[in-house]
Amino acid sequence: MKRFLTVGDIGNLSDALAEAKQVKQTPFAWQELGRNKTIILVFFNSSLRTRLSSQRAAQNLGMNTIVLNINEDSWKLETELGVIMDGDKTEHLREAIPVIGSYADIIGVRSFARFESRTFDYEETILQQFIEYSGCPVISLESATRHPCQAFADLITIEEYKRVARPKVVLSWAPHPKALPQAVPNSFAEWMKVADVNFVITCPEGYDLAPDIMAGARLERDQKKAFEGADFIYAKNWSSYTEYGKILSKDRSWTVDQEHMSWTNNAKFMHCLPVRRGMIVSDEVIDGPNSIVIPEAANRVVSAQVVMKRMLEGLR
C-alpha cells in the first residue's frame, strides 16, 4: 500500500475488516515489521485522537514516531507555487516535503480544507504534493476532502455493534457555530456506500455533499423520516459545499436529542469527536447507554495499525 486517502486504497472491505479483527486481538504480533522503521506525522492542524492513535498504532508495530507540528515546531511553509517569498513564509513545501521524506519510511499528513478555494481544496493540493515529492507511502490524517482513518474506524465499530446483517446507517447533519470541513462526512459516505449497509444521508437544503459523494447515496431531507428504523445515527456538522465553506444554518432542531433517538430502532449514537454538546448532540444522548463514541475513538488505533501494517509489508 503506497497511499491511504480514499476507500479505493484499502481494497476489499471484508478483507480489511478481517485484518482489523486480527490486529485488535493480537496488536503486538507484528513488532518485528516496524523495527528500525520511522513514521513522521506532520500536522498542519490540531488533533487529539489522530495524533495519539497514530502514535500508538506505530508503537504497536515496533516503529519509531516523530511528530512535527507545522507553524509551531517548524518554519512557516509556503504552499503556493510560483510566488515570490517576500512574506512571513521561510520555506517552501517543495523542499520541506522531500527533506521530511528523506528522514521517514512512512509519512502521515493532516492538512484540513482551508476554504479559500474549493478547487485548491478538492484537488487535494497539499496532500498530492506529499504523495508526489516525499518518496514515501503517505497516510491522510484528514486531508482537505477526506478522513479515511476515521471512516475505517467507523466501519470497524459498526461491524462490532451491528445486530442485523445489513443495518440502517444514517449520516445526519447537525448544527455547529464554526465552519467545518466536509472531509469526515465525505469519507463516511464514501465508505458506507461500499459497505454492506442501508445508508441514508439527511441534511438541510444547501448542505448536499459533492456530487460524486451524493451519487449512489439515498438522501432524505426529512430528518425524522431518515431516523425511522435506523440502527446507527452518525451525527456530524459540515459547512456548505455549494456555497463553499459557508454556514447556512444553525438550526438546533437538528441537534440529536432523546426525542430524535426515539424515532430510531434503538440506534447506537456515533460521532468522530471532538463534539460540541448541546449543538451536535444532547448530554443525555452522548452520555446514554447507546452512545458508542468512546469505543469508536478507540478503534482509531486499529484502523491506523492496519494501514501502517500494510504499508510496512509493502516496504519489504
**Could you give the string, one character per residue 274-293, with x where binding to ligand AN0 holds by CB under 6 A and - elsewhere?**
x-------------------
Stretch that binds ligand AN0, among 25-33, 179-187, 190-198, 202-210 (CB under 6 A): 179-187
DSSP code of residue 79? -
**Could you give the string, one character per residue 87-126, with x where binding to ligand AN0 holds by CB under 6 A and - elsewhere?**
----------------------------------------
The count of residues interacting with ligand AN0 (CB under 6 A) is 7
The reply on whether position 219 binds ligand CP by CB under 6 A is: no
Q: How far is CA 117 from the centre of its chain?
A: 21
The reply on whether position 137 binds ligand AN0 by CB under 6 A is: no
Stretch that binds ligand AN0, among 115-123, 130-138, 164-172, 175-183 (CB under 6 A): 175-183
A 10 A CB-CB count for 257 gives 15
Q: Establish whether the linkage from the previous residue to 211 is cis, with ω within 30° of 0.
A: no
How many Cα atoms occupy the beta-carbon half-sphere of 195 within 13 Å? 28
Q: Name which of 113, 104, 130, 133 is nearest 34 in CA terms.
A: 104
Cell numbers at residue 234, please?
452518525
Q: Residues 47, 69, 74, 198: which binds ligand CP (CB under 6 A)?
A: 47
Q: Which lies closer to ligand AN0 via its Cβ, residue 184 or residue 281?
A: 184
Report what 180 binds from ligand AN0, ligand CP, none; CB cut-off 5-8 Å by kind: ligand AN0
Q: Which lies closer to ligand AN0 via its Cβ, residue 11 or residue 274?
A: 274
Residue 68 φ then ψ, to 5°: -125, 120
The reply on whether position 189 binds ligand AN0 by CB under 6 A is: no
Distance CA 311, CA 299 (A): 19
CB of 86 to ligand AN0, least distance (A): 31
Contact of 138 with 144, CB cutoff 8 Å: no
Q: Which lies closer to ligand AN0 via its Cβ, residue 20 or residue 149?
A: 149
Q: How far is CA 303 from the centre of its chain?
A: 11
The reply on whether position 176 binds ligand CP by CB under 6 A is: no
Q: Name which of 198, 251, 271 is nearest 228 in CA terms.
A: 198
Q: Residues 37, 49, 168, 236: which binds ligand CP (CB under 6 A)?
A: 49
The reply on whether position 145 binds ligand CP by CB under 6 A is: no
Report what 48 binds from ligand CP, ligand AN0, none; CB cut-off 5-8 Å by kind: ligand CP
**Could you give the string, one character per residue 241-280, with x where binding to ligand CP holds by CB under 6 A and - elsewhere?**
-------------------------------xxx------
The reply on whether position 141 binds ligand AN0 by CB under 6 A is: no
Q: Which lies closer to ligand CP via its Cβ, residue 272 or residue 302?
A: 272
Cell numbers at residue 316, please?
519489504
The reply on whether position 299 binds ligand CP by CB under 6 A is: no
Distance CA 21, CA 24 (A): 5
3 state SS for 120-186: HHHCCHHHHHHHHHCCCCEEECCCCCCCHHHHHHHHHHHHHHCCCCCCEEEEEECCCCCCCCCHHHH
Q: Which lies closer to ligand AN0 via its Cβ, residue 96 or residue 180?
A: 180
- Geometric angle at alpha carbon 273, from 250 and 290, rounded to 5°: 95
Interface with ligand AN0 by CB under 6 A: which residues? Answer: 142, 180-181, 183-184, 272, 274
Interface with ligand CP by CB under 6 A: which residues? Answer: 47-50, 142, 150, 272-274
